[in-house]
Structure 1
Amino acid sequence: MRETQTEVLLIEDDKDLAHSIADYLRLDKIICDHAYNGHTGLNLAMSNHYDAILLDLMLPRIDGFSLCEILRSRGNDTPILMLTAKDTLEDKVAGFQVGTDDYLVKPFAMQELALRTKALSRRKSGQVHKLLIADLEYDLLAKRVTRAGQEIRLTPLNMILLEVLMRKSPATVNRRELENILWPNDIPDSNNLRVQIYQLRQQLDKPFARPLIHTVQGHGFRLGENLS
């Protein structure tokens, strides 16, 4: 089976180090986009899909701590690996508090960087506090859902269903996976999932001009804009 490439965003102002990292990771089928300051890194991270972000702390324009916090506040759940010469416990705590997923102290072995990057790229970050898709926002801490600024009240099962669809977006989530998540101990008949999808559509889509929940015939459901 052909191994797929991993695509990461490397935000590092030391250009020589950035090129060395990119050259080494390419040997492991990890392709890097570069940003040499926090402002460019933010724009790239919000405009493109990456499997992971490799983030230096001491950056011009926007430092790594601030950049990580901004990304999480905007619902970006790409896993983040912080790269820094700061190795105190306080520095590590600060990094995790703003939303990083892993921490690697400079100087580091390139092989360890590659291993950690691949491990992170297989999942989405659990550090994100808000999920954002189009004009739909789910504040995970406050358990509050809004669309176009209008608060939407959902049942507990609807909330779980919405979180799964938003985290997986724009991918299709198959019916069996949704049923296993909603009813882990005793999966009911298939009509129960249809009921939950119907209820969610009534709240999220019916009052608005553009639907966000889409049925993929024979597969499952997905959430997002302009999905065919």
Structure 2
Amino acid sequence: MSAVVLIIEDNRSLAETVGYFLEAKGLEVDYAVDGAEGYRLASENRYDAIILDGNLPRMDGLQVVKQLRTEARVATPIIMVTARDTLEDKLVGLEAGVDDFLTKPFATQELEARLKAIIRRNRKEVARAVLQVGDLTLDPASQIVQRDGRRLELTPAGMRLLTILMRESPRVVSRREIERELWGDDLPDSDALRSHMYNLRKAIDKGFATPMLHTVQSAGYRLAANIGQASHAQDAQAA
């Protein structure tokens, strides 16, 4: 696989070890030794993926992610490498826009596998044409969502959820499918998905006459246009 990867890591020894390993696998590697420099490089250059330490000087890893997603509008997939592996830490990171996590210490072979997986997935999504369901559109490349010509603001987690639902529309997508795609094997014990769906519904349906996001009782979620008010009322009760 040919790719350009940015490593943001203040531990030079670890950064060099990972960098040499990835270069030996044919990847091109760029480095930043603190969060501020990492943010500058990531916002000014095009990378296929970012490997980001969670604890950095000048700007911590979570702040880097938040600013890349909300200010620089950078959609590059991010793997956060961290010593903190609690579910709460992961949920906060995913909400900010982290795509995957790797807990220190880790095997370089596992990092390589995760890196290749998110790059393949991202390339597939970016290569797609603009997703459209009814009057709702999502441009995977620019991460711009619009409904009836009005631009909508979504959280990074909401953007990922909407991409899944639009990609599969009008099929009903089960909770398990969505949770697996968002969190992998580290499924949250709390009802995090319900909270994200509530926020997504507000973002794409509030202020519009026709609802598009529907909860299908005992089955999952569906994004579809032209489903009547009666159906939406049933969906709301199930949510």
TM-score range relative to shorter protein = 0.5 to 0.7
RMSD, aligned CA:
2.9
2:35 aligned residue: 38
Task: Confirm whether residue 64 of structure 1 aligns to residue 64 of structure 2.
Answer: no
Question: Which of 22, 26, 29 is the matching residue for 2:23?
Answer: 26
Distance 2:141 2:6 in 1: 25
Distance 1:36 1:11 in 2: 6
TM-score (norm 2): 0.53
Q: Deviations over 1:80-132 (max 9, x none)?
A: 0000111222211221121100000000000000111111112339xxxxxxx
How far did 1:17 drift?
A: 0.4
Task: Tell me if structure 2 keeps the 8 A contact 1:53–1:78.
Answer: yes
Q: Deviations over 1:2-26 (max 9, x none)?
A: xx52111100000010000000111
5+ residue gaps, structure 2: 124-131, 145-166, 171-239
Question: Which of 7, 11, 31 is the matching residue for 1:10?
Answer: 7
Secondary structure of the residue aligned to 2:106 is coil
Q: Deviations over 1:10-63 (max 9, x none)?
A: 000000100000001112112210000011000100111100010001100000
2:97 aligned residue: 99
2:76 aligned residue: 78
Distance 1:41 1:76 in 2: 13
Could you say which structure has the larger radius of gyration?
1
1:207 aligned residue: none
Letter paired with 2:98:
T
Distance 1:165 1:15 in 2: 32
Distance 1:87 1:164 in 2: 29
Distance 1:58 1:21 in 2: 17
2:174 aligned residue: none
2:48 aligned residue: 51
Question: Which of 96, 111, 114 is the matching residue for 1:113?
Answer: 111
Task: Tell me if structure 2 keeps the 8 A contact 1:37–1:60.
Answer: yes
Distance 1:105 1:65 in 2: 15
2:173 aligned residue: none
Distance 1:9 1:157 in 2: 38
1:134 aligned residue: none
Secondary structure of the residue aligned to 1:83 is strand
Distance 2:16 2:61 in 1: 19
Distance 1:14 1:31 in 2: 19
Q: Provide runs of 4+ in structure 1 moved above 3 Å.
A: 155-159, 164-168
Letter paired with 2:95:
Q
Percent sequence identity over matched residues? Answer: 43
1:163 aligned residue: 139
TM-score (norm 1): 0.55
Distance 2:141 2:135 in 1: 11
Secondary structure of the residue aligned to 2:142 is helix
Task: Tell me if structure 2 keeps the 8 A contact 1:11–1:55.
Answer: yes
